[in-house]
Every structure is written in structure tokens, then in C-alpha cells.
């Protein structure tokens, strides 16, 4: 049946939903690239909470979604930005998420890496306090048996006076880490509080400091995750990495070309867009595993329009679209988010996300997705 989808300006247009899902395989591990999906958390819709109260998480649905990703051969990047770290999920909730997901990963043989930050700090802090906060979180992740992802810190961005503070603090953490970690550079488009990270708003200067950190401890750096939405800079950066240090793209605008790579190398992946794209992304990488880069691009290139839509400015609200698509796909029974963030995107934005995802065949049950979209339109008063 035709849907009337709202468009900006107050009008609607007709859309014919597809009736069959895309046929995808789930066989075999991924071999040519290491691919992490940064996974969202599922809120508990029955919890009587306010937007600024501690997050109420539906643990069963949250862990079921991680099993879904693992079943397709993807790794899970846990307690990252996609899970609303600093935007609804506090450190206490993140620590419980890390412990539960790491235990689940051990049970099913899934790969997992978990975010280490300083978000237990609620106000301005000096450098020793920031270091202690990082150490506390690193201990939780390592004790869980997961790989650590050293995330960018709002507190450090506020307290550091120059590159030397970053070199000193990260050097201390890398010396302390029991196993090689992933370093995470998240740009200000994802979190404005991270502007000037690595000691400079000049990205060339910041890049040099970042590379200095890695060069001082290459044996403690498994890889880097770069989320700057600048493909040229990422390629230049990965070509300068020490031997054995991987680049995990976090570029949700240019991931097909960065993962496919060129004659001088390629990026692995740690991406928020691989939450809704998980099965399709895994299918594409399996094709790439055979050496068929064109076949890989043929599957993944058409998904970029959806990703660019979800990550449009203000980029930090991309999580609303991710959870919305998880609801339409049947991975959760409601469109509710911790912190009430389901209100962060407009109805026309959500309608376009539905249309793009449906066109890609992302929904395992397109009829259910249409029914849920229709119910949302009814709630908003859009006549059908």
C-alpha cells in the first residue's frame, strides 16, 4: 500500500514500499578486513525516568542486538558514541554495558572492543584527575576481557594547555595498558566539546601530535579510529602509521572507498553506520574477501546516501536515526531512547531515513517496517 511520507514544508508525497527483503548470507567469518559495528543501546520504555536521570536499559534487547551483529561476522564496538556515551548513558551504565556485553561475547565467540573515557567526571578536572578517570575505565574494560578503545575526553580537551599534555597522558595510559589498544580521534562534528583535540585546532598540527603518540608506543597501539569525515586526511594518516598499526575508518561519509583501499593500503572499519547496515556490510566484505573490490563497492556504495542522511548536521544526533531503523527492522519493539533522544530528529528526517533504508532492502520484514512507519505517521497526524 502507498504511504504518504511528509516532506519539509508541510506537504506529503507518495511512496511505494518494497515487499521483499534483500537476500543476504550469514556464512563464514570476515577475513580481509577487521570490521566493528558501534552498537546502540535499547532503552527500557517502561521505566519512569526523566531525560537527565540515569539511563534505563533493556538489557535483553540490547544484548540480543549484539548477538545479531556477531552472527553476521562483525565485531562489536561497545560503549562508544553510538551507545550514547555522554548523551544519556553515564559511566555507571556504560560499565554495566561493558561487563554484560563482554560476557556475552565470550559466550558466543564474538569479537568486542570497548570504549575507555573520562565521562564519570561531571565538571572541570585537572590532569591527574583525568588520568585517574581513564585508569579506572581502562581497568574495567581489561578486567572484562575486552579490547580497549581509548576515546577522546571532553575533560582533557578542556584541561590540556598544549600538545605536551596529550603526549604525557596518552603515553602513561599506553605504558599501563596490558594489551594493544585502539586510539580514537573523534572530531568536533560528532562532539563540539572535542574541538582542538591533540592540542590544536589546526588539524595538520593535531595530526603530528597524534602520530607522535603512536610512534612513541607502536607496540601498544593495535590501531587508530579516525572520525573526521575527511577521506583525504585519513588516507594520508594511514600511510604514515608504523608497520602493524591499523587504521579503522570512522568516516561515515566515505567508508566504501576507504575500506576498499588503494595500491598503498586500506582501512579496516569501526563505524556507527554499520549498526543499521550490519548484515549488508558483512555481505560486502565477504565479497571483498574474494578480491572483488568492484563487487564490494557495488553493494556498499548505494548505502552512502542513507549514511549521509543519518549523519547530517548536527551530526551528533545520528543515533536517533540508528535507533529508529532498529525499531523498523524489528530489533526492538519501540522507538524510545535513553535521555529522550528520539525527539532529536524531525519527522521528515525520519521519513526519508525509512525510504532510503527500505529502498536498500535493509528491513528483514518490509511489511512490518511499513506498518510501524504507518503507526508513527498516525501519531504525528499525517493522514494516509
Encode pLDDT of 211-270 as tens digits.
999 999 999 999 999 899 999 999 999 999 999 999 999 999 999 999 999 999 999 999
Q: Which helix (H) or strand (E) holds 183?
A: strand 181-186
H helices of 231-343, in order, are 231-238, 255-260, 278-289, 293-300, 304-310, 318-329
Q: Cβ–Cβ contacts within 10 Å for residue 313, how many?
A: 7
Over the stretch 325-342, which tens digit does the pLDDT of each residue have? Answer: 999 999 999 999 999 999
Residue from 107, 41, 105 nearest 75 by CA? 105
Distance separating alpha carbons of residues 35 and 45, to the nearest angstrom: 31
Average confidence (pLDDT) over 165-186: 97
pLDDT the model gives residue 26: 67
pLDDT score of 51 more than 90: no
Average confidence (pLDDT) over 188-200: 94
Distance separating alpha carbons of residues 261 and 341, to the nearest angstrom: 35
What is the Rg, in whole angstroms, of the alpha carbon atoms belonging to the chain?
20
Distance separating alpha carbons of residues 155 and 159, to the nearest angstrom: 6
Q: Where residue 297 falls among pLDDT bands split at 50, 70, 90?
A: very high
CA distances to 72, 262, 273, 361, 376 from 298, rounded to whole Å, are 19, 16, 17, 14, 32
Q: Which helix (H) or strand (E) holds 224?
A: strand 221-227
Over the stretch 77-124, which tens digit does the pLDDT of each residue have? Answer: 999 999 999 899 999 999 999 999 999 999 999 999 999 999 999 889
Over the stretch 263-282, which tens digit does the pLDDT of each residue have? Answer: 999 999 999 999 999 999 99
pLDDT the model gives residue 267: 98
Average confidence (pLDDT) over 292-305: 98
Average confidence (pLDDT) over 280-300: 97
CA distances to 43, 162, 327 from 336, rounded to whole Å, are 6, 40, 9
Amino acid at each position: 500500500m502507498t504511504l504518504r511520507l511528509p516532506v519539509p514544508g508541510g506537504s506529503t508525497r507518495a511512496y511505494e514500499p518494497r515487499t521483499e527483503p534483500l537476500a543476504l548470507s550469514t556464512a563464514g567469518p570476515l577475513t580481509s578486513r577487521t570490521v566493528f559495528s558501534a552498537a546502540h543501546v535499547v532503552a527500557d520504555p517502561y521505566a519512569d525516568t526523566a531525560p537527565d536521570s540515569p539511563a534505563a536499559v533493556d538489557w535483553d534487547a540490547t544484548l540480543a542486538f549484539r548477538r545479531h551483529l556477531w552472527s553476521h561476522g562483525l565485531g562489536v564496538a561497545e560503549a562508544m558514541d553510538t551507545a550514547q556515551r555522554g548523551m544519556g548513558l553515564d559511566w555507571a551504565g556504560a560499565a554495566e554495558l561493558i561487563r554484560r556485553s563482554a560476557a556475552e561475547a565470550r559466550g558466543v565467540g564474538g569479537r568486542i572492543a570497548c570504549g575507555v573515557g573520562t565521562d564519570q567526571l561531571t565538571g572541570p578536572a585537572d590532569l591527574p584527575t583525568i588520568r585517574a578517570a581513564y585508569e579506572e575505565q581502562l581497568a574495567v574494560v581489561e578486567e572484562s576481557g575486552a579490547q580497549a578503545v581509548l576515546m577522546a575526553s571532553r575533560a582533557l580537551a578542556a584541561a590540556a594547555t598544549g600538545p605536551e599534555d596529550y603526549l604525557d597522558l596518552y603515553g602513561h595510559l599506553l605504558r599501563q595498558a596490558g594489551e594493544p589498544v585502539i586510539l580514537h580521534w573523534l572530531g568536533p562534528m560528532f562532539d563540539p566539546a572535542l574541538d582542538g583535540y591533540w592540542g590544536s585546532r589546526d588539524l595538520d598540527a593535531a595530526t603530528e601530535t597524534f602520530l607522535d603518540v603512536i610512534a612513541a608506543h607502536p607496540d601498544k597501539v593495535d590501531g587508530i579510529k579516525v572520525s573526521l569525515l575527511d577521506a583525504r586526511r585519513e588516507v594520508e594518516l594511514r600511510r604514515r602509521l608504523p608497520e602493524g598499526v591499523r587504521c579503522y575508518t570512522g568516516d561515515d561519509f566515505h567508508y566504501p572507498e576507504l575500506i576498499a583501499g588503494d595500491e598503498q593500503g586500506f582501512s579496516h572499519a569501526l563505524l556507527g553506520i554499520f549498526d543499521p547496515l550490519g548484515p549488508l556490510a558483512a555481505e560486502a566484505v565477504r565479497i571483498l574477501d574474494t578480491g572483488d573490490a568492484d563487487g564490494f563497492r557495488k553493494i556498499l556504495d548505494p548505502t552512502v546516501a542513507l549514511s549521509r542522511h543519518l549523519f547530517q548536521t548536527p551530526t551528533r544526533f545520528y543515533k536517533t536515526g540508528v535507533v529508529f531503523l532498529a525499531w523498523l527492522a524489528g530489533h526492538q519493539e519501540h522507538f524510545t531512547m535513553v535521555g529522550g533522544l528520539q525527539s532529536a530528529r524531525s519527522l521528515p528526517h525520519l521519513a526519508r531515513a525509512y525510504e532510503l533504508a527500505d529502498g536498500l532492502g535493509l528491513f528483514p520484514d518490509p511489511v512490518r517496517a511499513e506498518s510501524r512507519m504507518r503507526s508513527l505517521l498516525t501519531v504525528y497526524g499525517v493522514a494516509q
